[in-house]
Amino acid sequence: MAARMFDGQGPGVPRIAVDAMGGDYAPDEIVAGALAAADEGHEIILVGDQRRLAPLVRRHERVRICDAAESISMDEPPAQALRRCDATSLGVAVNLVREGEAEAVVSAGNSGAFLAIALIRLRTIEGIARPAIAAVLPAKEGPIVLIDAGANVDCRPEWLVQFAIMGSAYAEGVLGIEAPRVGIVSVGEERAKGNAQAIEAAALLDAAPVNFVGNVEGKDILFNHADVVVTDGFVGNVILKVGEGAAVLLGSATRDTLVHSNALVKLGALLVKPALDKLKLRFSYESYGGAPLLGVRGHCIVAHGRANRNAMRNAIRAAARAARENVVGHIESVVAPLVAKEA
């Protein structure tokens, strides 16, 4: 059965299937985040081992448990996970979207397995060759979308155009950015700079139905030179991990400096601590919750493997927004004319 698209116009709110057994801190933190989201009015289906989940879930009218006895480990090969997915919490959660029982699915579990299961069970949107992970990154003037953040390490130039279309649809529908500016990662601003893939993709993007603004250098990504930053999954994942490492290093270096400073500096640090806490929250992955897997016929949010309750609550919020704005339907509407043109 094809996934039922929720367009935000019908009664009720979108139902979010949550893989309660996926992630480093599952199920405790996952359930706590789901309950927090339910307290905000979200409809939640927790998928996992009934015996472990029931004691964690207080009686809540917006939360129900869907039993799935097995789970997928973080290091399980995707092919192996796919073969037994129908008995696992992740597989059952994806199937709920396919069967129209949920409008979106969230998992902090094995991302490779999530991609494989979603690809087979939900299938790709017509005209999209490969699904891609769109990571929402905190930047100076507001969030940006980095796509692909790790799903496809080897890409063709035409796939990058599809990533741009999908990332633009998400930035507009969920982040509320009007006419998002799309840039492609390269080693220089000049069009002649870059490898063959980037140069050819840039030429194709000039004719694509997006607001293409040209090349974006690595140093400019977090300064909002573009709202959607397009690259292959290899480079995108490196950018993502370098950013995470830099944030951890900065925090660690700041703490070490304060610990070894004199009393006057430490007193000053206490005075600015509220401002520093706000800054940390603004640039934390927890604030954005998870990355949408775009290109499949269902709304899928890939949460961070180390997601705590706050990150999971925000991932559920992101899933609900994607479903309400019908991001899948929006991507289909943009891609359909291109498919017809090629036919």
E strand residue ranges, 94-155: 104-107, 132-137, 144-147
pLDDT at 262: 77
Looking at the DSSP bridge assignments, the partners of residue 48 are 67
pLDDT at 2: 36
How is the chain split into domains, by residue range?
Answer: 12-128+295-343, 138-287
Global pTM value: 0.86
Q: Domain 138-287 belongs to what architecture?
A: 3-Layer(aba) Sandwich (3.40)
Rounded to a whole number of angstroms, the distance between the first and last alpha carbons of the chain is: 26
| DSSP-derived secondary structure for 7-23 | -S-SSS--EEEEETT-S
| Maximum separation of any 2 CA atoms in the chain, in Å | 72
pLDDT single digits (tens) 297-324? 999 999 989 899 999 999 999 999 999 9
Sign of CA dihedral 196, 198, 199, 203: positive
Distance separating alpha carbons of residues 308 and 109, to the nearest angstrom: 12
pLDDT at 263: 73
Q: Domain 12-128+295-343 belongs to what architecture?
A: 3-Layer(aba) Sandwich (3.40)
Neighbouring C-alpha atoms within 13 Å toward the C-beta of 221: 24
Q: Are domains 12-128+295-343 and 138-287 of this chain identical in fold? A: yes
The DSSP element (H or E) to which 300 belongs, if any, is strand 299-303
pLDDT at 22: 96
Q: What is the mean pLDDT of each run of 10 residues along the chain (343 residues)?
A: 39 87 96 96 97 90 95 95 96 97 97 95 94 92 93 94 95 91 95 92 95 96 96 93 77 72 67 56 58 96 92 94 93 82 64
